Chain A
C-alpha cells in the first residue's frame, strides 16, 4: 500500500515580525513528527522561492507594500486552504498603528530630518524597493481567507492543534486556553 500523500504547506511573512513563524517552531521536538506528515513548499526555512500548488498556506503579517500584495495573491491562487496566522494577518497588528499617520511624513522624519543622520540624506527611492502602501491592511481585505488564528503570536500548542486537526481531516477547533489574543 502506498503511504498517504503528504500535506504540502507553504508559509510566508508579509508585514510581520517573524514571531508567528517562531511560535510555529516552538512546537519543539514535535517538528520532527510533523516532518513525517507534511512537506514544505516556499517558506523562510527552505530555499524554495515561489509558491507552488499546495494544500495549506499560512500567512503571517498584514499587507504593507506592493510586493506583499503580489505574494499574498500568489498564495491564494496556489493554496487550497489559506490561513491568517496572528494579529498582524488577522487585523494588521502593531504595524497598522502607522495607519493614522501620513506616510510621507514618517519617511521624511526617519530618513531626512532625524538627529544622528549624516548630512543631506534622502528617502530611499530605488525601483528595486517595493512601493509602500498608505495603510497596512489585514489580509482578508485583499483575498478570501479560510481560517483565522488569533494571538500575538498564537501559541505553539494552538498552532499544533490547528495543524494536527487539519492533517487528520477534522475541522480545526481551538478549545479553552488555546484561543487567545495576547
Chain B
C-alpha cells in the first residue's frame, strides 16, 4: 500500500522545488516537492539529512558515562536524553530511587518542558501565527517579534530563562548538565536554591496563563483556517500515570486509534518492541516507527507530543492546566484536537502544567534530603528508560555487560515517532494550498508552518548513501586533499 503523494510514478518528468534548509526548527532537514507542468504536486517529502550513528559509538563506553554522553544528541532538550538514559541505568544497577532523587529529576524535567516549549513558541513559531503565514520573511522571526510585540517577546524570554535556571540548579549547567546519575542525582537542592526559584514562579505561572490565552484567541479569531490547516485524525501514543493522569516523567504506554478505540493501555515500556517496530524509507535518515499490531508503517503510524498527550490523558493534575485542557477538548466539538495547529495550543497548556508542577515541587522538603542516591541492588543486563520529552515519547534502551560496558543501544527519539505524521501534514498543505498555484515564498512557508507545529527536533534524528556514483573530495584551508570518498553504483562508500 503506497501513501498518497509519497512517491510520484515518474519523478524524472517533474520539476523539483526544495525548501532547504528548513528554518525556525531545531536541527537539519529539508522538504522536496515534485510538481508537474500544471504545478500540481505529485510528491512531497520531508528528508532528515544528517546521520550521526550515536547508537553505534556509544558501544564500549562505561554505562555511567551514558547520561552525560547522549545528551549531546540534542542541545535543545538535553535533559530528556540525560534522564531517559539515567532511568535506563537505574534498572541496570537494580536500584530504587529515594523520594528526593526522583523529585529533583522531575523538577529538572519540568524545567526542561518549560524552557523548550517557550523556546519553540516565542523564538521560533509565534511569528507565523501573529504576523501571518505569508508575511514578508523579514517579519517572521524573534527580531520582528521584539520590535512589534515587545511584551510578548520579553515574556517568552523570561519563561525560557526560568526553565533554564531550574535546570542549572538541578543539573549544574543550563546545557549538558550532570545532575542525574545511575541510582539518583549528584546533589540535592539547598533551601536557599529552592527559595531563589520560588521567588519568580508565580510570575511565570501568570505568564504561562497569558500564553495559553494568546493561542486560544488566535484559534477563536481564525476558527475555520486553524481547524482546517493540515488537519487529520491519527493514532496517538504517550505515557500516562497509573491513574490516567498526564505525567511527563514516568508511566505506562497508552495508544488510541484514530477511530477512538484504545489499542493498549498502561503497557510496561520495558518491552516496548512488542508494540512498536520501525521501518526505514530510502529518502530519509529518520526511521518510521509504527504500531506493531497494525502491521506496517503505512497503516500503523501515529502522533506523539503535546497534542497526543492532551487528548490521551484522563486529566491534568494541576488546576489551571486542567481547566484549560477541558476548554481545549470542548472547542468546536473537539476540532482543535485533530488540527495540526492544535499542537501550539496543547503545548502552551503543557507549559502551564510544567510551571504549576514546578511550583508544587519547590515547596516539597524532600528536594533537600541528604539521601539522593539509591543503593545498588541486583545487577541487570538490560535497561529501558522512557520519558515524555517536550516533543513526545523518548525511548532509550541499553544492554550493559559485566565489565560495565554498553554492548547495545537503541534510541527512538520523539521526533522520529512523528516522522510519518509530519509527512502527512506537509502533503495536506501541498494539496490544500499549493496544488496548481504559482509557488510563492509565502506558500512554501505554509509547508514549514505545518512542520513547525510539531516542534520537530531534527537534531536528534539521522542521514544515507545514494545509488549514484559520487565522489566527494575534501581539501584543507591550504588546498591539500584531506579526505576522498567514492560512492559506487551499488551504494557502497569507499575511501579512495
Contacts and interface: CB of A to CB of B under 8 A. Distances in A.
Interface in B120-176: 123-124, 137, 140-143, 146-147, 150, 153-154, 157-158, 160-161, 164, 173-176
B140 A47 contact: yes
Nearest to B81: A17
Contacts of B278: 116-118, 121
A153 B76 contact: no
Nearest to B16: A128
Interface in A67-114: 67, 69, 93-95, 97-98, 101, 103-107, 109-111, 114
A17 B72 contact: yes
A17 B49 contact: no
Contacts of B21: 44, 49
Contacts of B30: 128
A32 B27 contact: no
24 contacts: A18-B27, A20-B75, A23-B175, A28-B164, A47-B23, A67-B49, A110-B53, A114-B55, A117-B279, A118-B297, A124-B285, A125-B465, A125-B466, A125-B491, A126-B466, A128-B47, A128-B49, A129-B47, A129-B463, A132-B464, A132-B493, A133-B474, A142-B476, A142-B482
B463 A47 contact: no
The CB with the most chain A CB atoms within 10 A, among B141, B150, B463, is that of B463
Given A47-B445, A69-B472, A126-B282, 15 more contacts: A17-B76, A18-B26, A22-B76, A31-B142, A32-B157, A40-B143, A45-B124, A47-B137, A49-B21, A103-B53, A104-B492, A116-B277, A117-B277, A118-B290, A131-B465
Contacts of A16: 75, 459
A134 interface: yes
A54 interface: no
A174 interface: no
Size category of the binding interface on chain A: 35 or more
B388 to A, nearest CB: 20
A18 B24 CA distance: 12
Interface of A: 13, 15-23, 25-26, 28-29, 31-32, 35, 39-40, 44-49, 63-67, 69, 93-95, 97-98, 101, 103-107, 109-111, 114-118, 121-135, 137, 140-144, 152-153, 156, 182
Given A65-B463, A124-B280, A153-B175, A93 B72 contact: yes
Interface string B466-496: 1110101011110000110101000111010
B294 to A, nearest CB: 12
A128 B75 contact: no
Contacts, number: 254
A101 B57 contact: yes
B493 A103 contact: yes
B463 A132 contact: yes
A132 B465 contact: yes
Contacts of A94: 69, 72
A106 B161 CA distance: 38
A141 B482 contact: yes
B176 A107 contact: no
Given A22-B75, A65-B463, A109 B485 contact: no
B23 A49 contact: yes
B146 to A, nearest CB: 6
Contacts of B153: 32
B72 A98 contact: no
A182 B175 CA distance: 10
B389 interface: no
Contacts of A19: 72, 74-76, 78, 175-176
Nearest to A48: B137
Contacts of B273: 115-116
Contact of A47 (B57, B119, B141, B297): B141
Given A26-B174, A126-B47, A32 B477 contact: no
Given A121-B280, A125-B491, A44 B52 contact: no
B419 to A, nearest CB: 12
Given A129-B47, A153-B176, A29 B157 contact: yes
B190 interface: no
Contacts of A134: 483, 485, 493, 495
Contact of B24 (A47, A63, A69, A124): A47
Contacts of A32: 146, 150, 153-154, 157
Contacts of B199: none
B53 A98 contact: yes
Contacts of B78: 17, 19
